[in-house]
Amino acid sequence: MKRVQLDTLGLQKFVATNELTEIAPMVTTARDLLVKGTGVEAHMGDWINLPTDYDHVEFDRIKDAARQIQDDSDVLIVIGIGGSYLGAKMALDFLHGSFFNLEGTEKHPQIFFAGNTISPTYTADLIRTIGDRDFSINVISKSGTTTEPAMAFRIFREKLIEKYGEAEANRRTYVTTDAQKGALHSEAVDKGFTSFVIPDGVGGRYSVLTPVGLLPIAASGIDIDALMGGAAEAQRELKAADVEDNDALLYAAYRNILYRKGYTNEILESYEPHLRFLAEWWKQLAGESEGKDHKGIYPSSAIFSTDLHSLGQYIQEGMRNLMETVVEIKQPASNLGIPTLDENLDGLQYLEQTSMDAVNKTAREAVVLAHTNGGVPNMLIQIEDNSAETLGYLIYFFEFAIATSGYLNGINPFNQPGVEDYKQNMFALLGKPGYEELRQSIQEQDQKEFH
């Protein structure tokens, strides 16, 4: 069984065989920079061996904390932004389905996310949703000073203290942060919070298989041993295999061949709504890893067939700068038959002997045919099932492919200098101490533009 498989039949009109042959040595070089730790900022590549080289004692502590949360909390609030929440949210939806938080269970808490927006409406809605129920919080931040999660942490800590008093609020506060420094680390030590470590050599967008993602994932009832096992399987297979036998490297190669031909935008698509946050996680992984030096493939996403009724026309006949990558589950978690009716008022009688999954996959085939005929190259990533093992493999597959792709394009895949620009401006405009000079500069610039 191959957990993740790349199908490139939709590229036949767009990529010649010799093009893959010619780029393969460069892909191998990029892979070696990653695997051997000789590329730029290689110290941030510790995630490469993470599925087999992790702190097993802390891993067991994560499972203990998850059981404690399950025992005493109806709700877990996960506070973080970017990689500090997207991976966990992706895993919950992937493995539990679209309505996990609505189904209710005595074994596992509802899990909601905060600190990923500055919206007071969202935050107030979440507070109202918690109501009088028992809850705990897991705040995730390397520094503890990132604006969005820091604000949310203040708000939900206050609610905890109001409900339980400070001692019990401290027990219900779980912190994932730096091992030795930072405001959040200092507060955790001072107040005795249960804390877990964000490894120094793992950046936020690569951190889902660290305590960043593993604690909320485990608290939801997912088997994190199976998740790590699937990632370890991918590590063994993808680090060693040559380009022609390595679907992650082939994915990196083909997307870069297309990029050099002017296909500068990649749409990650699925026909399953519970994979929406897989795409959101992938967008951060690809966007922050590759969008630098005025280069990089722009990542976007869509859920079909839903978005075909809004974006389908543009994809079919708009600018020819798009490539599509479809993620398809071979064996979905559920399937339903089409009910049989005596009458055929809705015109569906011809489908009564088939299933919804068969119709869904046929729709995908029809769309690929239409889009490739219309000039849009297509790749298909088929994943075996909705299991934790398969998700672990898929996470590693995308991380390995995107990091290789960055090196292949002459980009440092591990930094994100552009993210700091808006933060500096926001701090200045909000009057944060130390930013007075920048604030004055922005105001002068605004005045010049206005006049």
Active site residues: 288, 423
The contacts of residue 125 (CB under 8 Å, 6+ apart) are none
Residues paired with residue 329 on neighbouring β-strands, in sequence order: 383
The contacts of residue 373 (CB under 8 Å, 6+ apart) are none
> CA torsion sign, 130 to 134 to 140 to 141?
positive
Contact assessment for residue 174 and residue 215, using Cβ atoms and an 8 Å cutoff: yes
Contact assessment for residue 113 and residue 78, using Cβ atoms and an 8 Å cutoff: yes
Alpha helices in 192-333 (DSSP H): 211-219, 224-240, 247-260, 276-290, 308-317
d(CA 376, CA 187): 52
For the chain, what percentages of helix, strand and coil (3-state, to nearest 5) are there? 55, 15, 30
Residue 265: both structure tokens together: 């935008």
Measured torsion, CA atoms of residues 180, 186, 284, 297, in degrees rounded to the nearest 10 = -50
Coil, helix or strand for 305? coil
Contact assessment for residue 130 and residue 77, using Cβ atoms and an 8 Å cutoff: yes
Of 239, 377, 401, give the one whose Cα is nearest residue 321. Answer: 377
Residue 153: both structure tokens together: 């942490």
